[in-house]
Amino acid sequence: MTQSIVVQVGQCGNQIGCRFWDLALREHAMANKKGVYDEPLSTFFRNVDTRVQPPLSLPAGQGPIAALKARAVLIDMEEGVINQLSQGPLGDLFDAEQKVTSVSGSGNNWAVGHYTYGAQYHDEISETIRKAAEHCDCLQSFIVMHSMGGGTGSGLGTYVLTLLADEYPDVFRFVTAVFPSVDDDVVTSPYNSILALNKLTEHAHCVLPVENQALSEICGRINKGAQLKGGKAKQAGTGLSETGKAKTPWDSMNNIVAHMLLHMTSSSRFDGSLNVDVNEITMNLVPFPSLHYILSGLSPLYALADVSLPPRRLDQMFTDAVSQECQLARVDPKRGTYLACALMLRGNVAISDIRRNITRLQSTLNFVPWNREGWKTGLCRQAPLGQPHALLALSNNTAVGGMFEGVADRYVKLYRSKAYVHHFTSEGMNADELPAALASCKALIKRYRDIDTTDPGPSQRLEVI
């Protein structure tokens, strides 16, 4: 059995991690009725005392026993979120040697996170990751979680990614990158996002871009649907209160990302008739090294907020997963060209149902001419929490270029007057890095546009500075 290490960087990364570990424990508790340490559990957890077989259930108000530890590294230059996680019911999952923290933060400045804190904490981060890796018998992947708009997540997050590429070049590097909304209140987020995007293109094997605005809209539709149909929100592992309202605006949004990651790794943890290991995702969905940005669509959506509604019809679930409304980024895959697509199902689904729906979808989706049969299918026997079946659609689609164009547009408006640039250059960053990062982004957009058979013509939105 292979193992994966989750690297949580910044406030956003650690908040997603909190939801991820809670849901992962509950998922394994549901699958493991005997409550003993087994191979599926070893993917993300280790047993530090082999004499103890830790129970997997989580009684109300209690955390896992000390013998069970997460394969995780927690990094943040503001220790508030990590302290809350450590003092909460999941606190026993993490040792002090798994955490790297400071108190001053990065001031929403990519250069502070990447250059200042990167150099200052390089040895400590490297040693923390090394210890986590040594606890693995067969380390297969790193899963890095961070935001793109802030300073620590974007700057130190991409520094950690560079470190992983240098020190563990043969281990797959998956990144969940949360892009800011258009109306984000961090004025420097366009700079941070473009600079981080340049590093993701260079050092990641696979990036799963997520947008705050898309997650917010999904949560809004879920809540509206639940109210219209009289659904009642459950309490277990959702970040929801007894009234069905989110405890904080971010809990339900982070819950969606955590579900996506658990679906993606389900075949690595549980048995199935068509298992898809994480290394197969890059093998089948990334035909060119730099075009490794993968859109994710989830269905059924109501399950992500634990709303007790009747199960979604199976065929409708396939249709939903490739629709714009179910994407974790604000893009419409049907308006782009598919380079490849993976349908990863969980639960009580027949292979014949998968084949029938792929045949049905092929006539509605636009694939590149050289890969019209570019489908990868996975079927994991273990259903997700509270649902008979679920589907994660992972697609390498040229529509993602439109999301990058939006980020580049906001960058251009800010950089035209060279606003705030001195804050970045004063932290050791070369002034040429900002326009160079934009050039990298524009080159990435052009690669996707050149492949897009639905593109009516060159975009005039990005001007040369």
Query: Picking from 159-163, 183-187, 354-358, which range would have the lowest pLDDT averaged per residue?
Result: 183-187
Which of the 8 DSSP states describes residue 143? E
What pLDDT was estimated at residue 304?
Answer: 60
* Final residue belonging to a domain, choices 400, 415, 431: 400
* Amino acid identity, position 64: P
Average pLDDT, the chain: 87
CATH code: domain of residue 445: 1.10.287.600
Query: Picking from 146-150, 300-304, 419-423, which range would have the lowest pLDDT averaged per residue?
Result: 300-304
The answer on 210 and 61 residing in a single domain is: yes
Over pLDDT 90: what percentage of the chain? Answer: 71
Please tell me whether residue 107 adopts helix, strand or coil conformation: coil
Quote the domain boundaries for residue 344: 297-400
What pLDDT was estimated at residue 302?
Answer: 65
Statement: residue 61 has pLDDT above 90 = no
Statement: residue 184 has pLDDT above 50 = yes
Statement: residue 460 has pLDDT above 50 = no
Per the CB < 8 A criterion, the answer to whether 224 and 441 are in contact is: no
Confidence band for 189, pLDDT divided at 50, 70 and 90: very high
* Cα-based torsion angle of the residue sequence 104, 73, 272, 278 in order, rounded to the nearest 10 degrees: 80
Mean pLDDT of 338-346: 95
**Helices and strands, counts by H and E, the chain:** 17, 12
Per the CB < 8 A criterion, the answer to whether 129 and 162 are in contact is: no
Statement: residue 55 has pLDDT above 70 = no
Per the CB < 8 A criterion, the answer to whether 119 and 149 are in contact is: no
What pLDDT was estimated at residue 59?
Answer: 47
- Rounded CA-CA distance 301/1 in Å is 30
Confidence band for 72, pLDDT divided at 50, 70 and 90: very high
Statement: residue 54 has pLDDT above 80 = no
Asked if the structure places residue 131 within a domain, the reply is yes
Asked if the structure places residue 288 within a domain, the reply is no
Statement: residue 136 has pLDDT above 90 = yes
* Final residue belonging to a domain, choices 278, 312, 331: 278
Asked if the structure places residue 374 within a domain, the reply is yes
Confidence band for 244, pLDDT divided at 50, 70 and 90: very low
Please name the residue that has the structure tokens 């991690």: 17
Query: Picking from 126-135, 225-234, 263-272, 350-359, which range would have the lowest pLDDT averaged per residue?
Result: 225-234
What pLDDT was estimated at residue 388?
Answer: 87
CATH code: domain of residue 171: 3.40.50.1440
* More confident site: 387 or 6: 6
The answer on 428 and 364 residing in a single domain is: no
Statement: residue 60 has pLDDT above 70 = no
Distances, alpha carbon 200 to alpha carbons 121, 124, 160, 203, 270, in Å: 20, 22, 11, 5, 29
Statement: residue 95 has pLDDT above 50 = yes
Asked if the structure places residue 351 within a domain, the reply is yes
Asked if the structure places residue 213 within a domain, the reply is yes
The answer on 208 and 63 residing in a single domain is: yes
Residue among 330, 323, 292, 295 at smallest CA distance from 447: 292
Confidence band for 385, pLDDT divided at 50, 70 and 90: confident
Confidence band for 453, pLDDT divided at 50, 70 and 90: confident
What pLDDT was estimated at residue 459?
Answer: 44
The answer on 308 and 194 residing in a single domain is: no
Mean pLDDT of 87-97: 92
Statement: residue 178 has pLDDT above 90 = yes
The answer on 312 and 184 residing in a single domain is: no
Name every residue whose Cβ is closer than 8 Å to that of residue 334 and which is 6 or more positions away in sequence: 322, 323, 324, 364, 365, 366
Residue among 15, 29, 34, 32 at smallest CA distance from 74: 15
What pLDDT was estimated at residue 224?
Answer: 77
Confidence band for 458, pLDDT divided at 50, 70 and 90: very low
- Rounded CA-CA distance 424/430 in Å is 8
Interaxial angle between packed helices 212-229 and 251-264, expressed in degrees from 0 to 180 and rounded to the nearest 10: 100
* Amino acid identity, position 443: A
Which of the 8 DSSP states describes residue 233? B
The answer on 77 and 209 residing in a single domain is: yes
The answer on 131 and 26 residing in a single domain is: yes
Confidence band for 382, pLDDT divided at 50, 70 and 90: very high
Q: Are strands 206-211 and 68-70 parallel, antiparallel or unpaired?
A: unpaired
Please provide the distance, in angstroms rounded to a whole number, between the alpha carbons at the two ends of the chain.
50
Please tell me whether residue 123 adopts helix, strand or coil conformation: helix
The answer on 447 and 308 residing in a single domain is: no
* Amino acid identity, position 348: N
Asked if the structure places residue 291 within a domain, the reply is no
Asked if the structure places residue 87 within a domain, the reply is yes
Query: Picking from 68-82, 222-236, 273-287, which range would have the lowest pLDDT averaged per residue?
Result: 222-236
Confidence band for 58, pLDDT divided at 50, 70 and 90: low
Mean pLDDT of 384-404: 93
The answer on 351 and 216 residing in a single domain is: no
Distances, alpha carbon 201 to alpha carbons 103, 173, 289, 335, 465, in Å: 30, 12, 9, 23, 21
Phi and psi at 104, nearest 5°, equal -100, -20
Q: 9-53, pLDDT tens digit by residue?
A: 999 999 999 999 999 999 998 888 877 888 889 999 998 876 655
The answer on 247 and 375 residing in a single domain is: no
Asked if the structure places residue 144 within a domain, the reply is yes
Please name the residue that has the structure tokens 């050039």: 439
**DSSP-derived secondary structure for 273-318:** TB---HHHHHHHH-SSTT--B-EEEEE-GGGGGTB--PPPPHHHHH
The answer on 199 and 255 residing in a single domain is: yes
Over pLDDT 70: what percentage of the chain? Answer: 86
The answer on 341 and 269 residing in a single domain is: no
**DSSP-derived secondary structure for 381-443:** SSPPTT-SEEEEEEEEETTHHHHHHHHHHHHHHHHTTTTTHHHHHTTT--TTHHHHHHHHHHH
Query: Picking from 101-115, 142-156, 161-175, 289-303, which range would have the lowest pLDDT averaged per residue?
Result: 289-303
Is 104 exposed, middle or buried, given 0-12, 13-18 or 19+ CB atoms closer than 10 A?
A: exposed
What pLDDT was estimated at residue 57?
Answer: 53
Q: What's the gap between Cα 385 and its chain centre?
A: 19
The number of folded domains in the chain is 3
Distances, alpha carbon 188 to alpha carbons 192, 204, 422, in Å: 6, 23, 12
Statement: residue 219 has pLDDT above 50 = yes
Confidence band for 239, pLDDT divided at 50, 70 and 90: very low
Query: Picking from 73-77, 117-121, 305-309, 425-429, which range would have the lowest pLDDT averaged per residue?
Result: 305-309
Mean pLDDT of 316-323: 93
Mean pLDDT of 134-160: 96
